[in-house]
Chains A and B, each alone.
Chain A
Amino acid sequence: MKKIRLIAFAILAMMWTGSLNAQKYMTKNGMIRFYSEAPAENIEAINKQVNSALDISTGDFVFRVLMKAFEFEKALMQEHFNENYVESHKHPNASFTGKVTNLQTIDFTKNGTYEANIEGDLTIKGITKKISEKGTFEVNNGAIRGKSVFMVTLSDFDIKIPRAVVSNIAEKIEVTVDISLQPLNN
């Protein structure tokens, strides 16, 4: 009898986990780009190894970004970014933990492009700030593509620009997020 109850519990647990995972989408190859437009030069960096997960039943949305994975056109810029500005040896990850707040207006089962409101905590260089941004979710045959463009003020995250290069780096940088989420199948 005990054995039957144990087997029944195991089957229920498997079904429960399965139903939860059916609501979860993720990627480990998401893209985040930042762009700084300043009088002396424009600087762009791209990271294509961004981890992200979305739970469409709760709206929970998370990102994990390795700072050393940002690629710059110039090697020296990349060095300065890691060593002087974001200090990636001390703070190797940036993260976002938040929610899609207008979940009721998005039908993740139906193909289409939906406006999304996203709120949560953005952590860069060990400093966490609340952000509230807009984006889109493009639903296409079971896959979800999330996109957003927003501005980040460097001083909010204690990223100091030396006077000597103040004309080379913008105080606010544009952040572009582009992630293709797939259903989690385990």
Chain B
Amino acid sequence: MRKWIGIIGALALVGIVVATLVYFFVINKSHPDYENKKPEYFMTAEALFASFREDAAKASEFYNGKIIQVSGQLSSVEDTDGQTVLVFALDQGMFGDEGIRVSMLEAQSAQAVKLTPGQDITLKGFCTGYNDTDVVLNHGSIVQ
């Protein structure tokens, strides 16, 4: 009898440990640490924009959902509704500038708004895709 109680107790304990691990590491797992995540691709802003322009479907397969590091000359800094966006304008379309738009992490905003258009910078961010005008990177951070 005592042996069975011991077995059931051990199984219950294993169950609780597994349930706790599943809760914390699967159901309630945290978002990636974008600021410290290593980029999977390194390229110029021009090269990234050109690959989406040439074949958006193919580029989406490569880059969407990946951390990409891009470098280039900063065109503008937008700061609206508490959201800072750094822009590499690479073309002109029906709705104005088109290029790479990097929406910065909140923790990076204070540093990002001090950047000046015209300076060379390197940023990284999570690629959400191409919307027919711009390639959009989210959770952006300044590399240098």
Which residues of A line the B interface, CB within 8 A? Answer: 24, 26, 28-29, 31, 48-49, 51, 53, 64-69, 71, 74-76, 78, 82, 88-89, 92-93, 180, 184-186
Contact = CB atoms under 8 A, between A and B. Distances in A.
A64 to B, nearest CB: 5
B58 interface: no
Interface in B8-31: 26-31
B56 to A, nearest CB: 8
Given A49-B138, A69-B138, A76 B129 contact: no
20 contacts: A24-B95, A28-B133, A28-B134, A29-B81, A31-B81, A48-B103, A51-B133, A53-B95, A64-B133, A68-B129, A74-B28, A74-B29, A78-B31, A82-B65, A88-B129, A89-B61, A92-B60, A92-B129, A184-B95, A184-B96
A82 B65 CA distance: 10
A185 B92 CA distance: 12
A180 B31 CA distance: 29
B85 A66 contact: no
B128 A76 contact: no
Given A29-B80, A89-B60, 4 more contacts: A66-B136, A92-B64, A93-B129, A93-B132
Given A76-B28, A92-B64, A28 B101 contact: yes
B78 interface: yes
Contacts of B81: 29, 31, 48, 180
A66 B132 CA distance: 10
Contact of B128 (A24, A28, A69): A69
Contacts of A186: 92, 96
B119 interface: no
B6 interface: no
Of B64, B78, B130, the most chain A CB neighbours within 10 A belong to B64
B96 A49 contact: no
For A51, A66, A71, which residue has the most chain B Cβ atoms within 10 angstroms?
A66
B116 interface: no
Of A49, A53, A180, A184, most B-chain CB atoms within 10 Å: A49
B130 to A, nearest CB: 8
A49 B65 contact: no
A69 B136 contact: yes
Contacts of A31: 81
A75 B78 contact: no
Given A88-B64, A184-B95, A184-B96, A51 B131 contact: yes
Contacts of B26: 76
Nearest to A71: B138
A69 B138 CA distance: 7
A164 B80 CA distance: 41
